[in-house]
Amino acid sequence: MAIRTMGPSGQYETGLDAAGAALPELLAPAGGLDQMLAAIAAGADAIYAGLGGFNARVSAHGFTDNEFARGCAVAHAHGVRVYVTLNVFVFDDELSDAVALGAHALELGADALIVADAGLACALRAAIPGVEIHLSTQAGAHSEGAVRLAADELGVERVTTARELTVDEIAALCATGVPIEVFCHGAICIGYSGACEFSALRRGRSAMRGDCTQPCRLAYDLVDEAGQSVVAVEGDRLLCPRDYLGIAHLPELVAAGVASLKIEGRMKNPDYVFNVVRVWRRALDMLCDGAWDSGAVEELERELGRSFNRGFTDAYLRGRSGAELMSFERAINQGVRVGRLVAVGHEEVTVELDAAVAAGDTLEIRFYPGVDARPDVPKRWPQVPCPVDAAAGKRVVVHCKRKVDAGCEVYLIRSAGVLDQTTAVLERMRAEADAIAPVARAVEVLPFEDAAVDGGASTELAGRRGR
């Protein structure tokens, strides 16, 4: 199968919706080979991954050169493109190494490079003839003028915009004619478009160098001049945003003319990648087939909730940025609601379901002990295994030793079905990856600014991160 090629509007031959609008590319994250294989199997049009140390997720599991080359070969066999992230800001004495890493990624099979640093973008353009460069959201090009400047002066083929933009603002950027990539799903940074130095100030590890320690996910208090708490919300995760959920706005984003829909998650497990990509693929296929129904959005969102999330929000797309954006109660997986307790017995509870569950699912009972509870009462909500398959509307009896009350909401936080399906898919895809022979590419690398660059440099060249 041929690799998808870019059309004049930036879309990659992914078809048209029922109204004749070009469908955007579905761009999936991959923190390692298994995630890449899961994305391919789930229906991604393209994959973005880090290689070496010049990327914004240096603590992701990552790839060996052989794994990345085999992953690219499998992707290309399925018509899927691969982009490598070089989206940190580099020092002058690192420029040659960063260019060498970009050339090496292309040799291994990458189709394009995602870059944040304008100087690095210019160096790559000068050193590697014909290189395709996408501008990272961390470059800060979020206005019409900035998008045009990036295309005209840096020569980038695509610009990734901020999560903070509304649908109308995204449409205005698309109207410039420059292909626009937007985030559609996943984590949100409390700093505008990830341009945050909180981690650097707190722990000496900078997000702009790919080494964020996520201090925004920790507990905080807000106090007045007398030191008294003035927090007016339930919870202490005062800087922790929910996760981005744009699937209800899919028709609007397609009509706006976006070139690519990007799923965040290079630190996520393969089952997350597989489930989220396949749900978004289904939504795009529905739109393409004229079967899109706003009534189906709730079910699509429920399926997405079966994978890790901190609660969902579409506030930015609607021009909102208040408390509805935030996950005050917790910074870990929220899951998705599946029912409520209707009866409590001795070491067992009865759950009335409003969504289907399966044997092996992990359920969480959201019991709040109250302010008068003894100090030794656990604060963490009890998590219990689901013993049987059951449909919405049914009741199931679940073993639970902890004290809980009738009326508590019950959430699914781990889907046995998603895990089993991902395991089966990976078994098949790994066999394909083991059998495929990577094709090495010859990449011409020219000198730039009198700096000699070795195009065959190893990914280990870029191991230096913090300064």
Looking up tokens 């706006």 gives 256
* Predicted confidence (pLDDT) at residue 455 exceeds the cutoff of 70: no
Biggest CA-to-CA distance, the chain: 77
- Grouping H, G, I as helix, E, B as strand and the rest as coil, residue 158 is strand
Mean pLDDT confidence for 175-190: 96
In the predicted structure, residue 36 carries a pLDDT above the cut 60: yes
pLDDT at 146 over 80: yes
The predicted pLDDT at position 59 comes to 58
Of the pLDDT bands very low, low, confident and very high (cuts 50, 70, 90), residue 450 is very low
Neighbours of 104 (CB within 10 A): 25
pLDDT of residue 1: 35
Instruction: For residue 264, give the nearest of 308, 302, 223, 303 by alpha carbon.
Output: 308
Statement: residue 271 has pLDDT above 70:
yes
What does the mean pLDDT of the chain come to? Answer: 89
Query: Which pLDDT does position 196 carry in this prediction?
Result: 81
Taking alpha carbons only, the member of 352, 362, 365 closest to residue 415 is: 362
**Any idea which residue has 């944040």 for tokens?**
116
pLDDT above 70 as % of the chain: 88
Res 351 pLDDT > 90:
yes
Residue 467, pLDDT > 80, answer: no
133-135/112-115 β-pairing = parallel
Nearest by Cα to 22 from 345, 260, 277, 356 = 260
Token pair in block for residue 32 = 């390692």
Model pLDDT for residues 125-136, shown as the tens digit of each residue? 999 999 999 999
| Residue 13, pLDDT score | 55
- Encode pLDDT of 281-335 as tens digits: 999 999 999 999 888 999 999 999 999 999 999 999 999 988 999 999 999 999 9
